[in-house]
Copies of this chain bind each other. A is one copy, B any other.
Amino acid sequence: MGLPPDDVLETHWVRAQHESADPVFLESMRGGFSGVVGILRHGIGPTIGLRFDIDALELKESNDSSHRPAAEGFASIHENVCHACGHDGHAAIGLGMASMLSELQSEIRGTIKLIFQPAEEGVRGARSMVAAGVLDDVDLLLGHHLVTGCAIGEIFPGMGGYAATRKLDVTFHGAPAHAGGYPEGGHNALLAASNAVLNLYALPRHRSGFTRINVGKLAAGSGRNVIPAQATLVAEVRGETTQLCDSMYERAMAIIESCAAMYGCTSSVRDMGAAGTAESDEPLARRVQEIASRLPQVTSHKMEKMGGSEDFTEMMTRVQANGGQVTNIGIGADFHGIRYQDSNRELVLPAHTGVYDIDERALPFAVQLLSTIVFDLMKYPAIT
């Protein structure tokens, strides 16, 4: 879902080649297969999955000297692409886990799947890995996310409260005409789209919980004096539950189709992302908290309303459907105390901005935390 066009995939694949990526791996990644699953198997025991989302964002990383990665020379080298949500940290933690677990392979009792997922941003990648069956044999699934604004050692077992979301690109297809000489001609795709924008925002609230709608972008038309023949909306709906989100999506479809019909246009919708809601299993979250409490200087907290969305829920839902248990874990990685205020004087965490930064000391801590949990779960796989 939301796979870039072939030429974009190829361009980036060639770039990876030029940047000396390992040809053996590269070959199997051609065509957009950028997810990886590492499997370690030894002895008899449960299958434990760990998920690491590894993708970046289309953002320009700050090159200001106050931005530590810039000052110390490890900022992104690719223009307009950077890790502004900590997924580079997640990738590093995953590789740390792989390295440590390989060395301790003889102590493993069961199967460990290290799941490196692409395309979490835009909530597109989890669904593919679920569809590929990666989660089908997982008994216990652990996800995690670095959390800025919290000190190293602070953790949030069971972190959740993600909204369900569906992303869609909508194109209205009309027909052009000379607007001055032939104003009644053509089919005005911009009028269809403008109606859609207004009526999408006017979709009613729902008594059962919160919903969201946004049309983030609109591009329409070709020339000043031409009836616009095409218009494309970039939109998303959200809901407090999957059901609410799906209900918004269905009503949005009715709006879109009617607005197209109103001006003799047609519409096409491309699904660009989707994630439902899911919550951590309370017993596993408690177990994680109990295990973590044995480590020095660890404190556990609740964090139930994250806002935003996260497609780890897609993996959670699959494992839970098979009778397994899952938990997500927030891991403090304070980025040195920087705080920002938006125009409404609200404190904001600068995730998804070019100045996002984490304290790298959170990485070995996370490896220690997750490996402690994994070995404990292998030893006592019963969760109560």
Are B211 and A216 within 8 A (Cβ)? no
Across the interface, A258 reaches (CB within 8 A) one of B193, B226, B261, namely B261
Q: Chain B contacts of A315 at CB under 8 A? A: none
Asked if A138 CB lies within 8 Å of chain B CBs, one says no
Across the interface, A179 reaches (CB within 8 A) one of B175, B216, B228, B255, namely B216
Asked if A191 CB lies within 8 Å of chain B CBs, one says yes
Provide the bound-state CA to CA distance between A125 and B262, in Å.
33
Provide the bound-state CA to CA distance between A42 and B284, in Å.
63
Q: Chain B contacts of A197 at CB under 8 A? A: 190-191, 194
| Copies of this polypeptide in the complex | 4
- The contact string, 1 if C-beta is below 8 Å from chain B, for chain A 163-181, is 1010100000001010111
A221 and B218 in contact (CB under 8 A), knowing A198-B194, A204-B184, A204-B201?
Answer: yes
Q: Chain B contacts of A183 at CB under 8 A? A: 204-207, 212, 214
Provide the bound-state CA to CA distance between A215 and B193, in Å.
12
Interface residues of A in 220-235 (CB under 8 A from B): 220-228, 231, 234-235
Are B261 and A254 within 8 A (Cβ)? yes
Across the interface, A207 reaches (CB within 8 A) one of B122, B182, B205, B236, namely B182
Tell me the nearest residue of chain B to A247, going by C-beta: B184
Asked if A38 CB lies within 8 Å of chain B CBs, one says no
Are A180 and B214 within 8 A (Cβ)? yes
Asked if A307 CB lies within 8 Å of chain B CBs, one says yes
Are B216 and A222 within 8 A (Cβ)? yes
Asked if A361 CB lies within 8 Å of chain B CBs, one says no
Are B210 and A216 within 8 A (Cβ)? no
Q: Chain B contacts of A307 at CB under 8 A? A: 180-181, 207
Q: Chain B contacts of A175 at CB under 8 A? A: 343
- Among A122, A224, A272, A344, the most chain B Cβ lie within 10 Å of the Cβ of A224
Are B216 and A205 within 8 A (Cβ)? no
Q: Chain B contacts of A214 at CB under 8 A? A: 179-180, 183, 224-227
Are B222 and A207 within 8 A (Cβ)? no
Q: Chain B contacts of A207 at CB under 8 A? A: 181-184, 307
How many interface residues does chain A have, given as a range?
A: 35 or more
Asked if A199 CB lies within 8 Å of chain B CBs, one says yes
Q: Chain B contacts of A215 at CB under 8 A? A: 190, 221, 228
* Shortest beta-carbon distance from A329 to chain B in Å: 21
Provide the bound-state CA to CA distance between A41 and B285, in Å.
60
* Shortest beta-carbon distance from A275 to chain B in Å: 12
Q: Chain B contacts of A258 at CB under 8 A? A: 258-259, 261-262
Provide the bound-state CA to CA distance between A143 and B344, in Å.
39
Tell me the nearest residue of chain B to A200, going by C-beta: B202
Across the interface, A308 reaches (CB within 8 A) one of B181, B211, B272, namely B181
Tell me the nearest residue of chain B to A244, going by C-beta: B184
Are B228 and A224 within 8 A (Cβ)? no
Pairs A-B, 10 closest by C-beta atoms? A179-B214, A258-B262, A217-B221, A201-B202, A194-B194, A216-B224, A194-B197, A181-B307, A202-B202, A184-B206
A-B contact pairs, 27 of them (CB 8 A): A165-B180, A177-B342, A179-B212, A180-B212, A180-B309, A183-B205, A183-B207, A184-B207, A190-B215, A190-B217, A190-B218, A193-B218, A194-B194, A195-B195, A195-B198, A199-B202, A205-B205, A214-B225, A214-B227, A217-B228, A218-B231, A219-B219, A219-B220, A221-B234, A254-B261, A258-B258, A262-B262
